[in-house]
Amino acid sequence: MTTASPKPGQYAIDGPRSEITFVTKHMFGLGTVRGSFRLRDGSVSLAEPLTGSRVHAVADAGSFHTGNSNRDRQVVSKALLDADAYPEIVFTSTRAELDAAGAWALPGQLSAHGVRAPVTFTVTKAEVDGDEIAVVATATVDRYAHGVTRLKGVAARYLQLTATVRARHADAGSA
């Protein structure tokens, strides 16, 4: 892998090789919970200049996994995510910004539980490997902003998300 500039164009997110992990607190902030969601698919459109780039990513709400089956069942139930009614968690960004510290940020909208709310992912790592890009980006998500407000005190309000995304250029492999 290199840190060379990626080729502008459309990239398809490779769901099986990508993931969304999170860290949050529970039990009134005394315990740490780590888990993941499955990133189903999406696309990255890299523009020249990069500020015109776009991202669209779809995660499966029902794939919430912490290793505790009782907790996982409760989170995907109507009590919190209601994954049957709202099966997708979608992030869409229509631009990229270079912040004061020199890091790339992807401001956008996160739709979860049927509610869209603003969120900004900060790119912490970006690499190019031939016709593929690998990006790691982090964000803080406020579950209350999405109407997921039950179990206050038992489940934390904020989740620290890390998206590890691999995407392949649309022209890759074509002659």
Domain spanning 9-169: CATH superfamily: Lipid/polyisoprenoid-binding, YceI-like (2.40.128.110)
> pTM of the prediction?
0.90
Tokens 């890299």 map to which residue? 46
The count of other CB atoms within 10 Å of the CB of residue 84 is 11
Residue 52 binned pLDDT confidence (cut-offs 50, 70, 90): very high
What are all long-range contacts of 76-83, with beta carbons under 8 Å and residues at least 24 apart? 79/150, 79/151, 80/143, 80/148, 80/150, 80/151, 80/155, 81/112, 81/113, 81/148, 82/113
- pLDDT at position 1 is 45
Whether a cis peptide bond, with omega within 30° of 0, leads into 49 is yes
Query: Is the pLDDT higher at 99 or at 43?
Result: 43
- pLDDT at position 57 is 97
Residue 69 has pLDDT above 70, yes or no: yes
Give residue-wise pLDDT tens across range 7-38. Answer: 899 999 999 999 999 999 876 667 899 999 99
What's the rounded Cα separation, in Å, for the pair 112 and 140?
A: 14
